[in-house]
């Protein structure tokens, strides 16, 4: 997700199995001794290999040279060398390194975290504000461990393919984030036939999670402001509060369009970008003067709040076939049920391909369900969506 939808842990399976892949090696860089100690313990309990802990970026860089980690959990605010400065140096040393930024929920840190994604970090996670919060937050632990599992697995297998005979540890912590990625496809997916006589879209709908902030920005920029001014753009990006407001600001800067968190009872306007507020579901309702945003504090859907399915299902009722919809990179399967409602209503659904996705969970789920009429690399998605919005051939 990129991070932190509402989380409701359901079960506690073993963490990493090392029977078929090398252990994932993790380096922790945080200036809090409490955080370093707790996270190191969680890493060991989950069956990962601790490459070391560092109290600042300088020490982390020294440890990287010695231990070659797969994943670095990197705090933003540290003495001597902070996470923002250390990040590009780490990636220069190890271009395929998976760096997850850690920060407390402040506007400044949200802004820095999103900039770090543009610099090459793969994700970020919100830290509780106090040491006590870190100690007691099950959500933080579960989300952190799941990110290590997802981002570290592929790199560890590729880098150490022969080190796969070790046995899993006897004591594994309950460590499954509910936003786990859907399995990679074992068989080719089937594309949904394209609708011949399309209805002109009255809205662009976007659902995304892990890797989404960068993908959404690149795609909207590729579509272009001229096309985007024809329709309202509604985005559900799995993010915590504060982050979604900053994300909207980044999109406004990048596209030149007005972008903000959606507000309850706000009437949709073409050429505006509406981002679901962190911690709330954003849906739609038919109003006397056109479609309006509805916000609710209902329970998580697909373990997420905001949830893509909530927006998509409402859009199918309000707009019918008059939508253009895309599912971008992200863990889990949120958006699949909503995509089904949209295709049943006659609207086209597109999905990002596996090669350009940070995690092919959400788009892969839609593709395997046979709901996508096209599964495309990110640049081609922009071209296809521009064609749908403008009614011109792609």
Active-site positions read: 209, 238, 334
Using CA atoms, how far apart are residues 218 and 206, in angstroms rounded to an integer?
13
Instruction: Count other C-beta atoms under 10 Å from residue 135's C-beta.
Output: 14
DSSP string, 168-230: PPS-------TTPPPPPPSS---PPPPPSSPPPPS-EEEEE-TTHHHHHHHHHHHH-HHHHTT
What are the residues whose beta carbons fall under 8 Å from the beta carbon of 351, sequence distance 6 or more?
A: 326, 327, 363, 364, 366, 367, 372, 374, 375, 376
Q: Which two tokens stand for residue 164?
A: 């796969």
For 229, list phi and psi in degrees, rounded to 5: -70, -10
Helix (H) or strand (E) holding 26: strand 25-29
Using CA atoms, how far apart are residues 87 and 274, in angstroms rounded to an integer?
31
Using CA atoms, how far apart are residues 28 and 25, in angstroms rounded to an integer?
10
């Amino acid at each position: 997700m990129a991070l932190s939808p509402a989380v409701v842990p359901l079960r506690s399976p073993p963490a990493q199995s090392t029977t078929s892949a090398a252990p994932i090696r993790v380096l922790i860089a945080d200036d809090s001794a409490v955080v370093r100690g707790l996270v190191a313990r969680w890493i060991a309990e989950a069956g990962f290999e601790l490459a070391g802990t560092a109290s600042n970026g300088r020490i982390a860089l020294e440890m990287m040279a010695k231990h070659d980690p797969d994943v670095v959990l990197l705090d933003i605010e540290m003495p001597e060398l902070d996470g923002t400065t250390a990040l590009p140096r780490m990636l220069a040393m190890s271009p395929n390194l998976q760096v997850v930024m850690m920060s407390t929920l402040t506007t400044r840190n949200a802004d820095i975290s999103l900039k770090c994604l543009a610099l090459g970090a793969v994700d970020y996670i919100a830290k509780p504000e106090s040491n006590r919060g870190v100690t007691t937050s099950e959500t933080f632990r579960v989300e952190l461990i799941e990110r290590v599992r997802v981002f570290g697995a592929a790199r560890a297998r590729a880098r150490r393919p022969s080190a796969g005979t070790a046995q899993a540890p006897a004591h594994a912590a309950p460590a499954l984030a509910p936003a786990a990625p859907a399995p990679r496809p074992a068989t080719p997916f089937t594309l949904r036939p394209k609708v011949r006589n399309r209805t002109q879209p009255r809205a662009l709908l976007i659902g995304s999670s892990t890797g989404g902030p960068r993908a959404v920005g690149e795609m909207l920029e590729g579509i272009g402001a001229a096309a985007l001014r024809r329709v309202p753009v509604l985005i559900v990006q799995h993010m915590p509060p504060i982050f979604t407001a900053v994300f909207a600001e980044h999109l406004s800067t990048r596209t030149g369009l007005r972008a903000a968190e959606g507000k309850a009872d706000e009437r949709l306007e073409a050429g505006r970008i509406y981002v679901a507020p962190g911690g709330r579901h954003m849906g739609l309702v038919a109003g006397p003067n056109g479609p309006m945003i509805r916000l609710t504090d209902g329970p998580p859907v697909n373990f997420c709040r905001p949830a893509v399915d909530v927006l998509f299902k409402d859009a199918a009722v309000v707009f019918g076939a008059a939508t253009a919809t895309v599912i971008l990179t992200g863990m889990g399967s949120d958006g699949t049920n909503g995509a089904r409602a949209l295709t049943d209503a006659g609207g086209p659904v597109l999905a990002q391909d596996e090669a350009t996705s940070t995690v092919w969970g959400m788009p892969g789920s839609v593709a395997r369900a046979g709901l996508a009429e096209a599964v495309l690399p990110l640049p081609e998605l922009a071209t296809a969506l521009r064609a749908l919005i403008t009614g011109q051939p792609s």
